[in-house]
Structure 1
Amino acid sequence: MDWLTIARKLAADPAANSDGIAYPQGYGIERYRKNQGPPSDEALIHAACRDVRTALADRRAELNDDVDELRALEADRLDRLFFVAYKKAVRDQDLAAIDRTLRIMERRARLLGLDMPARTELSGPDGGAVQIESVTADELDALIALTDPAAE
């Protein structure tokens, strides 16, 4: 759905609401209560974008908390496996146990981000500078419309 469709679905004023109902917590409720006209399409779009961004940020924060807990659990599991393999590698000088110990260490380093990141460099055509252009929102919408299969 586009932003205006979402915003109209959640508008307080039945004149703006796509379902033709008065949504008591909807966008523009203050204007509706004062018997003023509904918010402009631009104001509705702005409100919907703001609320969706806020909801996504909240959800991302929740997921990050869940990921942190899972990462800690996985690190504990890897630690237990590491000590089993490490004892065997050191005590028996078993090459398979040494390889397994190293694999566990590598996995733990990736999980916890302990390895130094690889340096990446971007370049433009023929190794030259990357060209950066600014575009207006209308130009961006036009580009999106060209690539949006639903627009066809």
Structure 2
Amino acid sequence: MGRPDKAKRAAIVQRRADAIELRLAGVDWLTIARKLAADPSINSDRIAYPQGYGCERYARGQEPPADDQLINYACRDVRAALKERAAEHDEKADELRAIENERLDKLFFVAYKQAVREGSLPAIDRALRVMERRARLLGLDTPTRTEITGRDGQPLEITTTSVDELEALIAANTEADDDE
């Protein structure tokens, strides 16, 4: 069984898109699987869905897949479709980053020329802002380490408390607030 031809690939892409749309609409896995099944005897629309689940079995006149197999097919389709969509989004984000980087190059060039030629403080500030934006866009800055300490820079002491102890502490603090 080689790679499917163009028409079969298009039908599979459509099936996956349909599976995602049904899942987003809150349809359960078995209903999705039956709606997208190739065999009209189990297809909820009583049609042979193109490149539907179990299409090879249907083409050979065999019994349709069991419910658990159908559910597995639907789950795999949704996972594959989501993975493909995530990859597309990543590619688009990379393209947008590249375009944005080109824009920043042009803006930086103008601000840098003015900053160097004239020594203009606003132009220097603008050039620095463009540089900061590029660093954020490309993740060039290393993260800042933040450390939380207790009194006098000592390590924080973390203890566990039971619900009863917590309620007693709350009650004690509430009484102290009432006394003030």
- TM-score, scaled to structure 1: 0.70
Between 32-41 and 92-101, the greater mean CA deviation after superposition: 32-41
1: CA distance, partners of 2:146 / 2:60: 57
2:138 is aligned, of 99, 103, 112, to: 112
- The reply on whether 1:27 has 2:45 as its aligned counterpart is no
Partner of 1:141: none
Partner of 1:148: none
Distance change (3 Å), C-alpha of 1:46 and 1:107: same
Distance change (3 Å), C-alpha of 1:37 and 1:128: farther
What residue identity is the alignment partner of 2:37?
A
Deviations 1:25-58 (A, max 9, x none): 2111233234433212211111111112212222
Between 98-107 and 88-97, the greater mean CA deviation after superposition: 88-97
Q: Return the offset for 1:118.
A: 4.5
1: CA distance, partners of 2:98 / 2:48: 48
- The reply on whether 1:53 has 2:79 as its aligned counterpart is yes
Partner of 1:64: 90
Partner of 1:14: 40
What residue identity is the alignment partner of 1:87?
K
Give the % identical residues: 68
Gaps of 5+ in 2: 1-26, 148-156, 161-180
- Segments ≥4 residues shifted beyond 6 Å: none
Gaps of 5+ in 1: 130-152
1:38 is aligned, of 44, 64, 70, to: 64
3-state DSSP class of the match of 2:62?
coil
Deviations 1:76-110 (A, max 9, x none): 11011111111222222222112111110111111
Distance change (3 Å), C-alpha of 1:119 and 1:10: farther
Q: Return the offset for 1:120.
A: 8.0
Partner of 2:116: 90
Deviations 1:99-129 (A, max 9, x none): 11111011111111111235589xxxx9579
- The reply on whether 1:2 has 2:34 as its aligned counterpart is no
3-state DSSP class of the match of 1:16?
coil
1: CA distance, partners of 2:146 / 2:35: 44
What is the total number of aligned residue pairs between the two structures? Answer: 125
Partner of 1:136: none
Q: CA RMSD in A?
A: 2.5
For the pair shown, the structure with the greater C-alpha radius of gyration is 2
